[in-house]
Amino acid sequence: MAFEVEMIETANVRLRVALAGAGPLVVLIHGFPEGWYSWRHQIPALASAGFRVAAPDVRGYGGSDKPLAIEAYTIREMCADIDGLIAALGAEQAVVIGHDWGAAITYATALFHPERVRALAGLGGPHLGRGPMPFVELLRKVYQDRFFYQLYFQEPGVAEAELDADPLTSLRKIYYAASGEGQKAKVHDPSGPGWLDRLVDPDPFPPWLTETDLDYCAEQFRHSGFGGPLNRYRNSERDFAQLGEVEGKRITQPAAFLAGSLDANLRMLPGVDVIELMRAQFDELRTVKLFDDAGHWLQQERPAEVNAALLEFLQGLPAD
């Protein structure tokens, strides 16, 4: 099924959005460092099954607006964009599905704008609640003087210089490192000064991402840069304050969680069973599915299986 890519004006921001199909609205939110294109396998499958699908580049990415201020990328701002997109598309509600940072935006949108979210699914990013402190502070306590990429991202300009220098190589290394193949290989250099220095550039790249796919993704970052995407990581303290407004609230909508069994996000906090922690955050976590030997880029690594799981979840929801 063909789909179109259009610019959509919301109340807060202009978003470039891939659109397809007709029926109940499903919004697909990508993570870091990706774009609408990461959902290229899901858009036609969901549209063919009778859903209207909208997959935006979130602010800071691809063809969407790219505010310069770090505070323009707080969790409340990101959720307001999704609320505004649903309204701009003429819908009262949508099923919201997010991957990685898109999953965090999905969960928070369900809390900040519950009237907009009919149901939700998170891929590769568990919902652990607000926590006792800003997440970056928790990471500093856990990792102390050890390198961790999210801590490396905190100083403005440093990671941008490294990642912007060669977007194609940056993406190849990042995508491979978090993939199922990369997690199984466990090949890295823990002594490298930057992030990319510690990662491997595979030859060849695993077949789930072709050279054409990589070239398209790299071209988007040559145009947009990594600054906006990295600013999302620099709002941990602001996010913590904003999420205080919904602290203690459980997500009441029907929900699903999908992840690769080798996704490092499941092991980000040593000794913590994130799946069990997630269950305490939902009233109706209907589906939890781990895909054997898959890594972080789940909807690209295992598109057919993910499509089947999402359709099973969507088709099991009560009719509008």
| Cβ neighbours for 218, distance < 8 A, ≥ 6 positions apart | 167, 168, 171
* Residue 296 a catalytic site member: yes
* Residue 100 a catalytic site member: yes
Alpha helices in the chain (DSSP H): 42-48, 75-88, 101-112, 135-143, 149-152, 158-164, 167-178, 180-185, 211-224, 227-231, 236-243, 274-279, 298-301, 303-315
Eight-state DSSP code of residue 25: E
Alpha-carbon distance of 112 to 21, in angstroms, equals: 27
Q: In 3D, which of 314, 285, 287 has the Cα closest to residue 27? A: 314
Beta bridge mates, 25: 52
Burial label for 236, CB within 10 Å (0-12, 13-18, 19+), is buried
The token duo for 173 is 């290394």
Alpha-carbon distance of 177 to 196, in angstroms, equals: 10
Catalytic residue among 30, 99, 127, 296: 296
Cβ atoms < 10 Å from Cβ of 255: 25
Catalytic residue among 65, 100, 239, 263: 100
Cite the active site residues: 100, 296
